[in-house]
Amino acid sequence: MSVLEATGINKRYGGLQALSDIHLNVAEAEFVAVIGPNGAGKSTLLNVLTGLALPDSGKVALAGKDITRAATHRRIRAGLGRTFQHGRTFERLSVLENVMTGAAIRPELGERALREAAMTVIEQMGMADEAHDAIGSLSYGRRRMVEMCRALACGPRVLLLDEPAAGLNSGEVDQLIDRLSDLRNRHKLAIILIEHNMGMVMRLAERIFVLNFGCKIAEGTPAQIQSDPAVLSAYLGEGYVHAGV
């Protein structure tokens, strides 16, 4: 059963057709990657799923409930969590305080429970030693990790990640892959990943959805996508498979 489903999504900005008849469904605990060239419509798709952009036509459903016109904060409470391509953190707050702002969307949590929930996520993401550090003292890569912690603190059923590996070094990427695999398995968390780091995509994704000029050009397993002629031509490049990436 799909936990998140987009059906017949169309979105136009002036003369640009950003998304054209997009159908995407994600099952519980499934890891789906969305890839494609810059300008393919990837972030627009996430914006439609999270309510930052309304589709011109089509439907978005979360756990079977129509959320197409629901406000963003209602989608978060219903179980959607998201990070952004360009990190958004509160520079004057500590790591813990930043993550607590994510948990604050959960009305059932009192102040003590709020802090505990935030700290649990920080520990799971391997940032316990930095919990009381100011965001301004962290590297760009670590700030991206804080943003992910904040999204997780909302208690999502579906986590949407927009280029989480941007700014991370190879060691941090390996740590992120391990953390995401662990979180997905532990919480049965569905994850939609937009990412240009193909090594990360191929290691994590069970299914890959490929966009180009707002249209889906391919969908399949990593092995299928790596050998798909349309994907090689539009995005990966003809030398991709032969390079063994």
Q: Using one digit for the tens of pLDDT, what is the confidence trace for 194-222?
A: 999 999 999 999 999 999 999 999 999 99
What distances in angstroms separate CA 178 from CA 6, 173, 182, 189, one per listed residue? Answer: 28, 9, 6, 14
Q: How many angstroms separate the CA atoms of 50 and 114, rounded?
A: 23
Say whether 156 sits in a helix, a strand or coil.
coil
Query: For strand 158-162 and strand 80-82, is the pairing parallel, antiparallel, or unpaired?
Result: parallel
Q: How many angstroms separate the CA atoms of 213 and 37, rounded?
A: 8
> Residue 93: which of 84, 85, 102 has the closest Cα?
102
Please tell me the predicted confidence (pLDDT) of residue 92: 86
Q: Using one digit for the tens of pLDDT, what is the confidence trace for 65-99?
A: 999 999 999 999 999 999 886 667 888 899 999 99
Query: Does position 242 have pLDDT exceeding 50, yes or no?
Result: no
DSSP state of 108: T
Please tell me the predicted confidence (pLDDT) of residue 240: 59
Length of the chain: 245
Q: How many angstroms separate the CA atoms of 184 and 27, rounded?
A: 12
Query: Does position 114 have pLDDT exceeding 60, yes or no?
Result: yes
Query: Does position 126 have pLDDT exceeding 80, yes or no?
Result: yes
Mean pLDDT of 3-10: 97
Q: How many angstroms separate the CA atoms of 150 and 82, rounded?
A: 9
Please tell me the predicted confidence (pLDDT) of residue 183: 86
Please spell the DSSP secondary structure of 13-42, one letter per residue. ETTEEEEEEEEEEEETT-EEEEE-STTSSH
Q: Using one digit for the tens of pLDDT, what is the confidence trace for 154-186?
A: 999 999 999 998 878 898 899 889 989 988 888
Residue 142's pLDDT band, with cuts at 50, 70 and 90, is confident
Query: Does position 49 have pLDDT exceeding 80, yes or no?
Result: yes
Please tell me the predicted confidence (pLDDT) of residue 245: 38
Please tell me the predicted confidence (pLDDT) of residue 89: 84
Domains of the chain, first to last? 1-79+156-245 (3.40.50.300), 89-155 (no CATH)
Please tell me the predicted confidence (pLDDT) of residue 90: 84
Q: How many angstroms separate the CA atoms of 121 and 96, rounded?
A: 10
pTM of the predicted model, to two decimals?
A: 0.89
Q: What percent of the chain stands above pLDDT 70?
A: 96
DSSP state of 189: -
> Residue 67: which of 81, 80, 56 has the closest Cα?
80
What residue ranges in 108-167 does DSSP mark as E strands?
A: 158-162
